[in-house]
Amino acid sequence: MAGILAWFWNERFWLPHNVTWADLKNTEEATFPQAEDLYLAFPLAFCIFMVRLLFERFVAKPCAIALNIQASGPQIAQPNAILEKVFTAITKHPDEKRLEGLSKQLDWDVRSIQRWFRQRRNQEKPSTLTRFCESMWRFSFYLYVFTYGVRFLKKTPWLWNTRHCWYNYPYQPLTTDLHYYYILELSFYWSLMFSQFTDIKRKDFGIMFLHHLVSVFLITFSYVNNMARVGTLVLCLHDSADALLEAAKMANYAKFQKMCDLLFVMFAMVFITTRLGIFPLWVLNTTLFESWEIVGPYPSWWVFNLLLLLIQGLNCFWSYLIVKIACKAISKGKAGKWNPLHVSKDDRSDIESSSDEEDSEHLGKNSHTATTTNGTSGTNGYLLTGPCSMDD
């Protein structure tokens, strides 16, 4: 075990040339980041999760009820053993051939079977009240942590001149505010990692899990080798759009359409500006070029920048989805009312419609049309959750 630890904490990997872990031990004059500090994130993540439960129960739920958001779920599908077996063991989205076979077996028309599967899928969806409470919790946290980050960073020299992220590196003392900011963000992402398995399931579960994993690793990595200064810039920049997204979702759930539209436009502008403009031109510029000039590359430097480039790849992917959703919303708006968060029905993020109009859409159409109706909704699911990253 001692050999494994010695290999893992190899100074030649983690630190610049001629720097050792002994040089970064805490003294009476200065405090530096220590790897054992990060253990604090686990009990804090549990505390954040408990605070979330209390917040949703005693703050968000009364607010939702005051806005006339009901807890009632969708219509319950009538019990049927054969269809239930198909639903649970084979598929939740039967194709035309299977629908025809079930129709002959049960002596039901295809439309009734489609309606049954739609209602059965909806039974597993959370109510609007549940979604509102989740969004209100995330909105509150994102707003708090972004406000704290801005208040903290405006007093630091590296916000105004990013070269200060690397002057005297790695002998940069750890301040109380920076330590609190880092541990709070890390604890929140750990809580997201765990709660994602119990939260509302959406189509981008896999990519969001990857994002949370990269974020946790990036925060941990930058703290251990004392790249915390530039790390605070990354965190604050990525928190800037998240509160707007959650606010737009809350307005959508409360049926405040004009407010939802305005917040969505604001979110899209902030997201694309910060993540496709400011992040690469400001943050990646300093981590790739200014740090190379002042400190020089070393093994963990390459890993850190590769993680940032991976985050930027996710930013590009989500920006593409946001633009795609906006274009669809605008094109639909030409024919009537537009709603950027509901360009199409998301069969995981939103309750599917059981109206006669939608039933008629499912009849007499080929599989390509059905894919167009439901397949494009996947981007809506990404939009509703994806950009919440290092956060999202």
pLDDT classification of 375: cutoffs 50, 70, 90: very low
- Block residue for tokens 């893992």: 8
pLDDT of residue 205: 73
Over residues 118-171, the pLDDT tens digits come to: 888 888 778 889 899 999 999 999 999 999 999 999 999 999 999 999 999 999
pLDDT classification of 336: cutoffs 50, 70, 90: very low
**Average pLDDT, rounded, for the chain:** 83
One-character DSSP codes across 276-333: IIIIIIIIIHIIIIIHHHHT---HHHHHHHHHHHHHHHHHHHHHHHHHHHHHHHHHHH
Over residues 195-228, the pLDDT tens digits come to: 877 776 666 677 778 888 888 999 999 999 999 9
pLDDT classification of 377: cutoffs 50, 70, 90: very low
Higher pLDDT, 143 or 80: 143
Q: Is the pTM of this model over 0.95?
A: no
pLDDT of residue 327: 87
295-320 mean pLDDT: 94
* Distance from C-alpha of 392 to C-alpha of 248, rounded to nearest angstrom: 16
Over residues 254-291, the pLDDT tens digits come to: 999 999 999 999 999 999 999 999 999 999 999 999 99
Collapsing DSSP states into helix, strand and coil, what is residue 187?
helix
Calculated CA dihedral for residues 210, 211, 214, 218, nearest 10 degrees: -170
In angstroms, how far is CA 160 from the centroid of its own chain? Answer: 28
Contact by Cβ (8 Å): 180, 187: no
What's the chain's Rg over C-alpha atoms?
24
* Distance from C-alpha of 251 to C-alpha of 235, rounded to nearest angstrom: 26
Calculated CA dihedral for residues 353, 358, 359, 361, nearest 10 degrees: -150
pLDDT of residue 202: 66
Over residues 20-68, the pLDDT tens digits come to: 999 999 998 899 999 999 999 999 999 999 999 999 999 999 999 999 9
In angstroms, how far is CA 67 from the centroid of its own chain? Answer: 25
248-255 mean pLDDT: 94
Q: Provide the 10 A C-beta neighbour count for residue 85.
A: 10
Share of the chain above pLDDT 70, in %: 82
Domains detected in the chain:
30-65+127-332 (no CATH), 81-124 (1.10.10.60)
163-181 mean pLDDT: 96
pLDDT of residue 392: 38
